[in-house]
Structure 1
Amino acid sequence: MSRTAFEIYGRGFGWSWRLRGPAEVLATGSRHYDTSRAARDAIDIVRAAVAEISGHEESFPDTDVDAPDISVEQEATPSGELPEERNNWVWRLQTANGVLGHSADRFSTEMAAQSAADQFLDYAAGALPMFLVGAEYEWKTGPKPIEVGSSSLTGLVSEATRGIRHRKVLDQIDTQIVVSGTRGKSSTTQRLDDVFNRRGYDTLTKITGNHPLLIHNGEVHPIERRGPRTTLYENISLIAEFVPELDAYEPDDVAIFENQGITEYTTRLFNQRLTDPDIIVLTNVRQDHTDTLGKTRTDLARSFARSVPAGTHVVSGEQHPVLHEYMQKEIERRGGTIEQVDIPDEHEGLIGSETIHAVNAVLDVVGEPPLPAEEIESFLSAIQPTWIEIEDGCIFNAAEVNDVESTEMVRRVLVDDEYITPFVYLRRDRRGRTASFAQYIELLFERELIDEAHIGGANTRAFAENVDVPTKCHSQNADPEQVLTELFTDGRPVILMGNTVDEFMREMQASIEQRVKEKRQAASASEAVDISEQGSAEATKPKDHE
């Protein structure tokens, strides 16, 4: 999956946004805002401007922009100069009301700046807003982080005894949506939040992960957990604090929760006790969390189906007919209903198509019109994997998708039947995932799609000893920069896979981004030299005389 997103972040002087492409930041906002909501609203204006420039005005019909345009020009120094040794060319996105955003870098030639502007238009059309929170992001003003969780048993019991009051609070919400499944939960939750927020609903959304957060109508509230572990009971506190605000607003309200359970029991507890979903979006059933949810995809499907409360409608993105039939019988037996997302022929095989079309299915359930076709096309285009080109060769970081089925889908989109060099990064706390990737690496070797696997992270020696594949192990203390160089020794494209939440992988991603920038700068400099030489040749060329 592509890493493309509009990142909303805070600094000491306010909130801003930037558009991150697959390997580098492409654009930044033109100003800072006092609140995260204002920065979020600015992104909608940017997306509406991009849609109109691209001829897709119907994608953002509720956001008005006046005469949007993208210009490429030279940016002078504060003293008004254009030094020859400086990259002077930039692009700007603007309307009649002012500049909305601009290129993240300056370029040495007009052609390079125009190419960057075109790239921005391509990616911005389908990019989603994403809030960045955590210690590295500090904001001047804004909502106070919410403290949840308790490290003591007494604290948990205290929260659990609020069950009756909690159910009464849940009853105040017009529509509750829970997003469950294996892959794509966070992005689907973000996409639902984006759509309902833009359509004027009073929207409350909770997203889990390393930096969990709550979003209320575009205003972000970071969640600070007091205890060392994630606790499902934190949702009682969050719902009790924010749902009364939803009930006080005039528009219909919708609450969207990402199910954070990773066992059958906790997944069921979340759906049946901590929330009361009208709709459950089941993104897919992939082979991950096999040590907690089940050893096979059928076991995983059973776990998800058994977590559905009576009276709940399930929108399922899982396309496997046998798994769907099994879940349908189990869910209907429990008093629920299920529909399988219908993927049009032209979107078959595209990564993420089941989750994007699931949004339309949800809109249909609540009586809302579907997303415009152009918006769906833009979303799908933005998330399809493409090779990242650096001086060493081509690389793609598929470690973010975690499971083997999704990794294989990425590989097929990128190379199909060509050889690759895989780098599998292991984590000690993901034994089920490690076992799945061991089988996957052996399968790639048997099909003659790899002739060696590079292994990094924890327990690399044990992994190497249990696969019948030539391996090269890299220790946890290895230099990511050096490992990245070694991966290209055979001259083949590289796919990173396995796990991404680790400092080593963050440093490797940073190294990739730096090499992308260096390659672009080298190409731009070469282009500038060519233009200069061409100009010199034209100047010295003998003129014809009559």
Structure 2
Amino acid sequence: MLTSYILLFLLLLFGAFGVVEYARHQRRARSIPIRIHVNGTRGKSSVTRLIGAGLRVGGISTITKVTGTYPRLILEDGSDVHIHRRGDANIIEQLSVVRLAAERKVSALVVECMALEQQYQRITERQMIHATIGVITNVRLDHIDIMGRTLPEIASVLAETIPSRQHLFTAETLISDVLQNYADKKHATMHVSTEESVSQDEMKGFSYIEHRENVSLALAVCQHLGVDRQVALQGMYTAIPDAGVLRRFVVGAFGKQLAFYNAFAANDPDSTFLVWKRLKEESGLEGTRIVLLNTRQDRMDRARQLAELAGRKLNPD
């Protein structure tokens, strides 16, 4: 009997601790005036970094957290810090990021969404981030085993991070009407940006190959928060990019000049095709063209999609 009372007491104690800690987290989150939750199929890490860089140079103290090629924190001064994890990635780490931002009394926190499953995306937004601005970069056919096999199905999952009665920014144009329906249900104001708002000359300021739609989206968010467009753009030029950004490398071998484009981060068929199309338009991809696919045994659906893309659309030599 005594053991039962002890167990009951411990359960009540842990329950009370959980309630208190939950309330503390809510206060921490609300103490950060600007909370930006970045979601989408492709470009999340890049857009998160670009927004953070634009806000910092605009005088808004900002902490950014990305989970792209490597998990990183970008602090108020723009320094890039590695996140040391104990075990696998877990959405619980978002709590510690909110705590850090609150303790440092920053004005803005820009966080890349970690979750894939619909219920975890819902929890991340409603219980952890409470965004004042939601961002959905785009909606593409990826993680189809988890998020759905059609664009509307995937959009329904991504829409879980649209903040209620706040603002949603997106560069998605193909099914923007679907996102608009979800935004309306949450009484959120949706803003759609297009790549045409950024000129090719403006893109020349980047030291790597950035996507215009990413820059356009990040600029729209920064301007919404009062940062001058040109000021924000200059900050984006100097930002440290994600390790997986699209880059061009030229090496000499066998008496030839070989150009290698690292596009491994575009690991869904739609994004891969868009990169291929863009490179053909801008550089012509002259000479013998070779496509190297990096597939994973635990992502067989994606491997089949990429193999079909290479054989039917890319048509390498």
> How high is the TM-score relative to the length of structure 2?
0.78
Deviations 1:82-102 (A, max 9, x none): xxxxxxxxxxxxxxxxxxxxx
Q: What secondary structure sits across from 1:406 in the alignment?
A: helix
Partner of 2:28: 169
1:352 lines up with 2:206 in the alignment: no
Q: Which residue is 2:3 aligned to?
A: none
Give the secondary structure class of the aligned counterpart of 1:424: coil
Structure 1's 168 and 373: CA in aligned 2 closer, same or farther, altered over 3 A? closer
- Structure 2 vs 1, CA of residues 341 and 158 (structure 1 numbering), >3 Å: closer, same or farther? farther
Equivalent residues in 2 for 1:44-59, closer than 5 Å: none
Task: Pick from 289, 297, 302 the counterpart of residue 151 of structure 2.
Answer: 297
Distance 2:22 2:289 in 1: 53
Alignment match, 2:270: 405
**Distance across 1 between alignment mates of 2:213 and 2:155:** 16
Structure 2: distance between partners of 1:229 and 1:174: 30
CA contact (8 A) 1:186 1:207 kept: yes
Residue 441 in structure 1 maps to residue 301 in structure 2: no
The residue correspondences of 1:371-386 to structure 2 (distance < 5 A) are 371=230, 375=234, 386=248
Percent of aligned positions with the same letter in both sequences? 23
Instruction: Indicate conservation of the 8 Å contact 1:181/1:282, yes or no.
Output: yes
The alpha-carbon deviation at position 341 of structure 1 amounts to: 0.5
Change (3 A) 1:396 1:241: closer
State yes or no: 1:327 paired with 2:179: yes
Instruction: Give the distance between the partners of 2:195 and 2:100, measured in 1 at CA.
Output: 38
Matched, 1:391 2:253: yes
Contact 1:159 1:233 in 2 (8 A): no
Measure, in 2, the Cα distance between the counterparts of 1:376 and 1:195. 5
Give the match for residue 457 of structure 1.
Answer: none
Q: Which fold has the larger relative contact order, with Cα–Cα distance below 8 Å and residues 6 or more apart in sequence?
A: 2
Q: Residue deviations 1:262-311, cap 9 Å, x none? A: 22222222111110111112111122222211112222112112332311
Once residues 307 and 373 of structure 1 are traced to their aligned partners in structure 2, the CA distance between those partners, rounded to angstroms, is 25
Residues 167 and 190 in structure 2, CA contact (< 8 A), matched pair in contact too: yes
In structure 1, C-alpha distance between the alignment counterparts of 2:294 and 2:269, rounded to whole Å:
13
**Alignment pair present for 1:224 and 2:84:** yes
Measured in 1, the distance between the counterparts of 2:172 and 2:199 equals: 15
Deviations 1:340-389 (A, max 9, x none): 1033267499961111011221122212221359749969xx97765634
**Does the Cα contact within 8 Å between 2:198 and 2:215 map onto a contact in 1?**
no
Q: Is 1:198 equivalent to 2:63 in the alignment?
A: no
Deviation of 1:328 after TM superposition, in Å, equals 0.2
1:55 equivalent in structure 2: none
One-letter code aligned to 1:405:
D
Structure 2 counterpart of 1:289, one-letter code: H
Deviations 1:453-473 (A, max 9, x none): xxxxxxxxxxxxxxxxxxxxx
Per the alignment, residue 72 of structure 1 pairs with: none
Number of the residue aligned with 1:278: 132
Aligned pairs, number = 284
| 2:279 is the alignment partner of 1:414 | yes
Q: Greater CA radius of gyration, 1 or 2?
A: 1
Alpha-carbon distance in structure 1 between the residues aligned to 2:181 and 2:155:
11
Render the CA deviation track for 1:63-115: whole Å, top value 9, x for unaligned: xxxxxxxxxxxxxxxxxxxxxxxxxxxxxxxxxxxxxxxxxxxxxxxxxxxxx
Taking the aligned partners of 2:93 and 2:16, their CA distance within structure 1 comes to 12
Residue 430 of structure 1 is matched in structure 2 by: 299
Q: Hey, what's the Cα distance between the residues in 1 that align with 2:95 and 2:237?
A: 37
Query: What are the ranges of 5 or more consecutive residues in structure 1 without an aligned counterpart?
Result: 1-154, 248-252, 451-491, 493-546
Q: Which is worse superposed, 354-363 or 430-439?
A: 430-439
More displaced, 310-319 or 193-202?
A: 193-202
Q: Distance in 2 between matches of 1:266 and 1:157?
A: 23
Distance 1:342 1:410, change over 3 A: closer
Distance in 2 between residues matched to 1:338 and 1:256, nearest whole Å:
18
Quote the Cα distance in structure 1 between the aligned partners of 2:72 and 2:237.
26
Give the residue type in structure 2 aligned to 1:164: A
SS state of the match for residue 104, structure 2? Answer: helix
* Between structures 1 and 2, the one with greater helix share: 2
CA RMSD of aligned residues (A): 3.2
Q: State the partner residue of 2:141.
A: 287
Which digits, 9 at most, give the CA deviation of each residue in 1:218-275, with x for residues without a partner? 345432222x22221122233224413216xxxxx11111111122222222111110
- Which of structure 1's runs of 4+ aligned residues deviate more than 4 A? 155-161, 345-351, 372-379, 382-387, 416-419
SS at 2:265 equivalent: helix
Q: Does 1:179 pair with 2:38?
A: yes
**Over residues 317-352 of structure 1, what are the superposed CA-to-partner deviations in whole Å (9 max), with x where a residue is unaligned?**
1122xx101110122112222111033267499961
1:363 counterpart (198, 215, 222): 222
Q: Which has the higher mean CA deviation after the structures are superposed, 415-424 or 292-301? A: 415-424
Equivalent runs, 1:136-175 vs 2, <5 Å:
162-175=21-34
Q: Is contact 1:287-1:296 (8 Å) kept?
A: yes
Give 1:415's aligned amino acid: K
Contact 1:317 1:340 in 2 (8 A): yes
* Distance of 1:263 and 1:257 partners within structure 2: 17
Q: Provide the secondary structure at the position in 2 that maps to 1:265.
A: helix
User: Quick one: which amino acid aligns to residue 312 of structure 2?
Assistant: L
8 Å contact 2:65–2:71 — kept in the other structure?
A: yes
8 Å contact kept, 2:198–2:212? no
Change (3 A) 1:444 1:242: closer
Aligned partner letter, 2:273: E
User: What are the superposed Cα offsets for residues 148-168 of structure 1, whole Å, 9 maximum, x if unpaired?
Assistant: xxxxxxx99976872221111
Task: Report the alpha carbon displacement of residue 412 of structure 1 after superposing the two structures with TM.
Answer: 1.8
